[in-house]
């Protein structure tokens, strides 16, 4: 029963990724300027809007990527223990990375947080 839900969630996450990653790519590569200069970075990291979209993109992309990786590993036909271990490790790793990335986004907001873009 789970497999159907996991797959549907993966398809849903691609929708989120197409939109948010598209925006991210446009900002980084198509808008000109120096997006990696500290000033530019500060402007984005203090914005609540940016932080929210980063966290959403982080979650969707982590889920999508790790679900795909988990599928590749499970299609190699591991035994029952290795199967459970793979699921557990990837879930833990994914949650860990999500928590870490969310901390980075929230910590970056700092005291001078803005709500715009």
Asked if 34 touches another protein (CB under 8 A), the answer is no
Number of other residues whose CB lies within 10 A of the CB of residue 30: 7
- Taking CB under 8 A as the criterion, the residue among 26, 35, 41, 117 binding another protein is 41
Cβ atoms within 10 Å of 39's Cβ, excluding its own: 8
Does residue 66 belong to the site contacting another protein (CB under 8 A)?
yes
The minimum distance between CB 75 and another protein, in angstroms, equals 4
**Which string of b and e fits 77-110 if b means at least 16 CB within 10 Å?**
eeeeeeeeebeeebeeebeeebeebeeebeebee
**Dihedral, CA of residue 29, residue 34, residue 38 and residue 44, to nearest 10:** -50
Least separation in angstroms between CB 96 and another protein: 10
**59 close to 9: Cβ distance less than 8 angstroms:** no
Shortest spacing between CB 7 and another protein, in angstroms: 5
Q: Could you say whether residue 88 binds another protein (CB under 8 A)?
A: no
Q: Site for another protein (CB under 8 A): which residue of 45, 47, 50, 53?
A: 45
Residues that bind another protein (CB under 8 A): 1-8, 11, 14-15, 18, 21, 25, 29, 36, 38, 41, 45, 58, 61-62, 65-66, 68-69, 71-72, 74-77, 97, 100-101, 103-105, 107-108
């Amino acid at each position: 029963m789970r497999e159907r839900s996991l797959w549907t969630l993966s398809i849903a996450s691609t929708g989120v990724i197409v939109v948010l990653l598209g925006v991210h790519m446009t900002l980084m590569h198509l808008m000109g300027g120096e997006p990696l200069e500290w000033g530019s970075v500060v402007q984005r990291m203090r914005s609540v809007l940016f932080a929210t979209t980063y966290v959403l993109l982080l979650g969707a992309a982590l889920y999508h990527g790790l679900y795909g990786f988990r599928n590749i590993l499970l299609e190699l036909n591991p035994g029952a223990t290795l199967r459970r271990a793979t699921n557990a490790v990837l879930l833990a790793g994914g949650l860990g990375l999500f928590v870490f990335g969310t901390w980075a986004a929230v910590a970056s907001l700092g005291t001078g947080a803005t709500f715009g873009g």
